[in-house]
Amino acid sequence: MDLKNEVISIKDEIIKLRRNFHMNPELGFEEYETSKFIKEYLDKEGISYESYAKTGVCGIIRGDLEEKKDRVIGLRSDIDALPIEENNKCEYISTVKGKMHACGHDGHAAILLGVAKILNRNRELFGGTIKLIFEPAEETIGGARYMIEEGVLTDPNVDIMCGLHLDENINCGQVEVKFGAVNAASNPFKVEVMGVGGHGAYPSSAIDPIVISSNIINALQNIVSREVNPLNSAVITVGSIHGGTGANIIPEKVTLTGIIRTLNSEDRQLVTKRVDEIAKGIGLTLRGKVKIEIEESYPMLINDKNSVNKLRNAAIKVIGEENVLEQEYPHMGVESFAYFANEIPSVFYFLGCKNEEKGIIHPAHSSLFDIDEDALMIGVAIQCQMVLDYLTNWRNNINLIRWGK
């Protein structure tokens, strides 16, 4: 098998798939047409599948060889879009007003379908099982946890998971991967501060929830600067404040919302506990009442050492060691692949899609985000290589010609 030529042979098809997804974006748990399209493609390729979590899909490919027949590897792609009006000027611009694939999930889905096509038509090369997991609602509440609850990682049980994310900060032709912590955990919170309303000219006859709220906001920042180990990263963001209707009116209530982000379980426990204590304590001190809700949202994404090494070895075979970079610091943003990584050994890496010459420089979640579509072929090749390395001993039968050589 010449992996490079296999991938090149479906280049136009993969780009067409990505553009179809891009033109027809759907938000989390609304990916009905996206899910239908994926299923129809798998049907066409003769790949069986099951439905999960409303709009999620899991394709299943079983190798023909007896060797390593008990091994199971899972590959994941997210499929949802964002509520953004696209401002790109290209032939494949979003056709849905106010919705856009501005985070590369269109590319992720196209890559996984390309992997499915190549591996399914080369089943004689490997044993074991491949699960192709198309996850809904990554951008909102994380479809991964619902797919897991419904059994996507069982029957047969997945041994190892691999996921990727297109990254506009990394040049096309390169990847970044990291041992250990890759993405932060998050805990969204909501604080309701109740006071006593009154006339702005007579504050002594009221209890001002705006003043209480401002004290809470300032005090919360001291948690990171004075209570979290300075060698660790943590972020507390208060992102919205709602209260009051007029300049001369002291309102009865103010509502704050925000998110806590941490990179280890100890800090997560400490910060959530202290946010609760400080908000309630200041409310009591300033004669108000505080109600606080802190959600247990996305967990930390921790890469497994052995899984990282498997991914690195596969990527080196495809693009060369000089193009396999080590991610220096964890991302403080969240990633729902963490739910999979919490269950089984996993690796999550970043696939470069930046190309300054082509003007591919705009950040994810912006209305001008786009990718260098050459990155799609590299993603397909690396994913295929990792699967073949894991599910076969016939490595010498696979052409490991470096990409671009």
Tell me, yes or no, whether 235 and 313 share the same domain: no
Q: According to the model, what pLDDT value does residue 2 have?
A: 85
Tell me, yes or no, whether 84 and 222 share the same domain: no
Tell me: cis bond preceding 188? Omega within 30 of 0 counts.
no
Tell me, yes or no, whether 305 and 271 share the same domain: no
Q: Is residue 405 part of a domain?
A: no
Tell me, yes or no, whether 103 and 51 share the same domain: yes
Q: Rounded to a whole number, what is the distance in angstroms from the first to the last CA of the chain? A: 17
Tell me, yes or no, whether 122 and 211 share the same domain: no
Tell me, yes or no, whether 107 and 144 share the same domain: yes
Annotated active-site positions, please? 298, 373
Chain centroid, CA 192 distance in Å: 30
Tell me, yes or no, whether 174 and 190 share the same domain: no
Q: Is residue 204 part of a domain?
A: yes
Which residues neighbour 271 within 8 Å (Cβ) at sequence distance 6 or greater?
187, 223, 224, 227, 228, 234, 236, 260, 262
Domain count across the chain: 2
Confidence of residue 397 (pLDDT cuts 50, 70, 90): very low
Nearest 5 degrees, angle CA 337-CA 348-CA 402? 145
Q: Give the CA-trace dihedral at 17, 23, 28, 32, to 10 degrees.
A: -70
Q: 347-359: per-residue pLDDT in tens? A: 999 999 999 999 9
Other Cβ atoms within 10 Å of 109 Cβ, number: 28
Greatest C-alpha distance within the chain? 84
Q: According to the model, what pLDDT value does residue 314 have?
A: 95
Tokens of 144: 């991964």
Domain holding 77: CATH number?
3.40.630.10
Q: According to the model, what pLDDT value does residue 402 have?
A: 46
Mean pLDDT of the 312-317 span? 95
Q: 11-52: per-residue pLDDT in tens? A: 999 999 999 999 999 999 999 999 999 999 999 999 999 999
Q: 58-114: per-residue pLDDT in tens? A: 999 999 998 899 999 999 999 999 999 999 999 999 999 999 999 999 999 999 999
Residue 259 contacts residue 191 (beta carbons within 8 Å): no
Which residues neighbour 159 within 8 Å (Cβ) at sequence distance 6 or greater?
71, 72, 73, 344, 345
Tell me, yes or no, whether 65 and 194 share the same domain: no
Q: 186-199: per-residue pLDDT in tens? A: 999 999 999 999 99
For residue 399, the SS3 value is coil
- Exposed, middle or buried, 81 (CB in 10 Å: 0-12/13-18/19+)? buried
Within 13 Å and on the Cβ side, how many CA atoms surround 109?
35
Tell me, yes or no, whether 136 and 260 share the same domain: no
Which residues neighbour 78 within 8 Å (Cβ) at sequence distance 6 or greater?
105, 108, 109, 134, 135, 136, 138, 139, 143, 336
Q: According to the model, what pLDDT value does residue 403 have?
A: 47
Q: Which of 294, 310, 342 is the last residue of a domain?
A: 294
Tell me, yes or no, whether 332 and 353 share the same domain: yes
Q: Quick check: 401 pLDDT over 60?
A: no
Q: Is residue 403 part of a domain?
A: no
Q: Quick check: 324 pLDDT over 50?
A: yes
**Phi, psi angle pair for 96, to nearest 5°:** -110, 115
Separation in Å, CA 35 to CA 52, 56, 78, 117: 10, 7, 11, 17
Tokens of 67: 């060797």
Q: According to the model, what pLDDT value does residue 393 have?
A: 66
Residue 372 contacts residue 172 (beta carbons within 8 Å): yes
**Distance (Å, whole) CA 82 – CA 229:** 35
Mean pLDDT of the chain: 95
Domain holding 225: CATH number?
3.30.70.360
Q: 273-293: per-residue pLDDT in tens? A: 999 999 999 999 999 999 999
Tell me, yes or no, whether 179 and 189 share the same domain: no
**Phi, psi angle pair for 222, to nearest 5°:** -70, -20
